[in-house]
Amino acid sequence: MSDQQAQKQAAAKAALQYIEDDMILGVGTGSTVNCLIELLPSVNLAGAVASSQVTEDKLRALGIEIVDLNVAGTLDVYIDGADEVNPELALTKGGGGALTREKIVAAASKQFVCMIDESKTVDVLGRGFPIPIEVLPQARSYVARQLAALGGEPVYREGFVTDYGNVILDTYDLDVSDAAAMEQTLNNIVGVVCNGIFAANRADVVLKASSAGVETIT
Ligand code: 5RP
Q: ipTM score here?
A: 0.98
> Of 182, 165, 195, 191, whose CA–CA distance to 94 is shortest?
195
Alpha-carbon span 157 to 169, nearest angstrom: 6
Distance (Å) from CA 43 to ligand 1 centroid: 23
Distance (Å) from CA 8 to ligand 1 centroid: 11
Q: Residue range 173-186: average pLDDT?
A: 98
- Residue 72 pLDDT class (50, 70, 90 cuts): very high
Buried/exposed 134-146: b ≥16 CB within 10 Å, e otherwise: bbbeebbeebbeb
At residue 100, φ and ψ (nearest 5 deg) are -70, -50
Q: Whose CA is nearest to atom 6 of ligand 1?
A: 95
- Tell me the binding residues for substrate: 29-32, 80-83, 93-96, 120
Distance (Å) from CA 111 to ligand 1 centroid: 18
Q: Probe ligand 1: pick from 35, 52, 91, 93, max atoms within 8 Å of CB? A: 93
Predicted TM-score (pTM) of this structure: 0.96
Alpha-carbon span 14 to 39, nearest angstrom: 11
Provide the percentage of residues in the chain whose pLDDT is more than 70: 100
User: Quick count: other Cβ atoms within 10 Å of Cβ 2?
Assistant: 8
| pLDDT reading at 185 higher than 90 | yes
- Tell me the binding residues: 29-32, 80-83, 93-96, 120
